[in-house]
Amino acid sequence: MHEMSLAENVREIVEDAAGAQGFRHVRRIVLEIGELAAVEADALRFCLDVVLEGSVAEGAALEFVRTPGAGWCAACARTVALHERYDPCPHCGAYGLDVRAGAQMRVSALDVD
């Protein structure tokens, strides 16, 4: 389950930020998760609950913001909405779109004390 390693990375990011900025408690973590990132939200929430225990973010509210997928179609030279990584272009039907957005996950905000 790669959600556990993602959760551990989130904890590292939060702890690094706490060390650099001197805050003691995180009330809320906002994560942007791309539509094409292959992240199971319920599994990630469970893993975060486990790995954040004992950290500055223990008990923090978790907010997941879904970001849309997009791909570049070389055949019709346009950026198109992409909901699955290997879907064809919705305009011309070509395959092999280059993913341009929605494949990443990032910590976008921390509410801290």
Instruction: Give the model confidence (pLDDT) of 57-99 as tens digits.
Output: 999 999 999 999 999 999 999 999 999 999 999 999 999 999 9
The domains found in the chain, sorted by start residue, are 2-68+102-112 (3.30.2320.50)
Task: Tell me: pLDDT of 105 over 80.
Answer: yes
Residue 8 is predicted with a pLDDT of 98
Judged against a pLDDT cut of 70, whether residue 1 lies above it is answered with no
**Strand intervals (E) in the chain:** 26-34, 61-67, 70-73, 78-81, 98-101, 105-112
pLDDT > 90 in the chain, percent: 97
What average pLDDT does this structure show over 49-54? 97
Distance CA(10)–CA(113), nearest Å, equals 18
8 Å CB contact between 80 and 73: yes
- Confidence band, pLDDT 50/70/90 cuts, at residue 18: very high
In this predicted structure, the answer to whether residue 34 has a pLDDT above a threshold of 90 is: yes
